Amino acid sequence: MNKAAYEALCQERMQGLYRIALSILRNPADAQDAVQQAFLNAWVHREKAYPGRETGWITRILINECRNIQRHRMRVFPVETVPDRPTAQENETGLKEALECLPEKMRLALLLKYMEGMTEKEAALALNISLTTLKSRLFRGRKALAKQLKEEVKLE
């Protein structure tokens, strides 16, 4: 991958990668750090990228970097100081809240497929899982999301 192709990839994927990192880390500063580190790692290891698979490749690098940040966070902060979920903001929608309640595996699958517009094959590659596993997570995630949204409507 040459410099121009790398810069184009970074510009194209920056917002999507940030949303993925924020979904995993739930902290804007950590999400920005993860995206920056993922871009740096992608540049250093650019010869390992398969042509045509750069989107899934850099997403996988980002997810690994998020895991590294989570591991580091676990060593640094006492459990009592880490919130279970971020504080609610005024502009949050019911869908966003319902997504946040899903298990991470389902949430990431749905985010990559529907929010980032990846194909199922690209999303499976990015998550380092089989296509069948991804389809299963998408199905279960949609089902759980629908259930949560129905319950929310009943409560109102």
By the 10 Å C-beta count (0-12 exposed, 13-18 middle, 19+ buried), 17 is classed as buried
Q: pLDDT truncated to tens, each residue of the chain (156 aa)?
A: 778 888 888 888 899 999 999 999 989 999 999 999 999 998 898 888 778 888 888 999 999 999 998 888 776 545 555 455 555 444 346 778 888 888 989 999 998 888 888 899 988 988 899 999 999 999 999 999 888 888 777 666
Q: What is the pLDDT of residue 90?
A: 42
Domains of the chain with CATH codes: 1-87 (1.10.1740.10), 89-156 (1.10.10.10)
> Has this prediction a pTM greater than 0.85?
no
Report pLDDT for 19: 93
φ, ψ for residue 2, nearest 5 deg:
-85, 175
Alpha helices in the chain (DSSP H): 3-25, 28-44, 54-76, 94-101, 104-110, 120-127, 131-155
